[in-house]
Amino acid sequence: MSIYQHFRPEEKEFIDQVLNWQSFVKDNYAPRLSDFLDPREQFIVQSIIGGENDCKVSFFGGNEHAERKRAFLYPEYIEPSQEDFQCTLFEIEYPDKFIHLTHPQILGSLMGLGLRRGKFGDILLDEKRIQFLAASEVTDYIKLHFHTVGKTTIALAEKSLDDLIGSQEEYQEIQATVSSMRLDTILASITKISRQKAVSLIQSGTVKVNWRLVEQPSFVVQQGDLISARGYGRIKILLIGDQTKKEKWRITVGKLK
């Protein structure tokens, strides 16, 4: 049985990458560190590596509530430490009395540096404080090139991970029973809107799965997916359980508003 049939066709390239990481650890008896991964990617890594003895995996992205985390694959003789994940915490200093910076503005400016999204972890906002995590290997590049968010001049202060502001993303765990794993069905069930409204939201381009725009109501949602719908918050698919006698799916999701 092919490992690929358990995942989406478009995920094949990432699966191949995970398998290469696994082979590296086994062949060299040495660890391998990934970029920051989204929840679905973390799920794929855990699914492939989770039961291995010769290659184990741990995740870290600043704290236990982090959404984006780096995966550290390692042989069993290693005991992973926080330092192994090579995460650098930056705090953005800006004229907060006059300027209000948003998450999309910060992410857009970071992506404008020409680095992959995987080089950045979560962006955290707490009242007037703004922090973001970055892969330590690009720390010097960020210091050299990241001086503005939009038209606002900023300064960067490198912080200890102990200074990480608390994650604002608290998810409410919800158990539900759904007739199918279609995107429109999941969205309607968890947000308590009509199926017709869910279809309209998806087709109007306001719904993303794992940060990618999805406009097909029939898109099949899988465990580990993160759904975001404009005006309705975020939904994490934590667990897809078994089917009921009426062939409905028992699922557990985390809902953030």
Placement of tokens 């490992």 in the chain: 3
Look at residue 242 and give its three-state secondary structure: strand
Q: Are 197 and 207 in contact (CB under 8 A)?
A: no
Domain spans of the chain?
A: 3-84, 87-163, 172-256
Which CATH code fits 172-256? 3.10.290.10
Q: Was domain 87-163 assigned CATH 3.40.50.300?
A: no
pLDDT per position as a tens digit, 116-138: 999 999 999 988 899 999 999 99
33 bridge partner residues: 72
Whether the CB-CB separation of 134 and 90 falls below 8 Å is answered with yes
Give per-residue pLDDT as tens, 84-95: 999 999 999 999
Q: Where are the alpha helices (DSSP H) in the chain?
A: 12-28, 39-49, 103-111, 139-145, 183-191, 195-203
- Rounded CA gap, 22 and 55, in Å? 6
| Domain 3-84 top-level CATH class | alpha beta
- The structure's pTM equals 0.85
Same CATH fold, 172-256 and 3-84?
no
134-155: b or e for each residue (b if 16 or more CB lie within 10 Å)? bbeebbeebeeebeebeebebe
Please give the pLDDT value at position 169.
Answer: 61
Q: Give the model's confidence band at 65: pLDDT under 50 very low, under 70 low, under 90 confident, else very high.
A: confident
Q: Distance between CA atoms of 215 and 104, rounded to whole angstroms?
A: 21
Residue 155 and residue 157: Cα distance in Å, rounded? 7
Paired tokens of 161: 């991970």
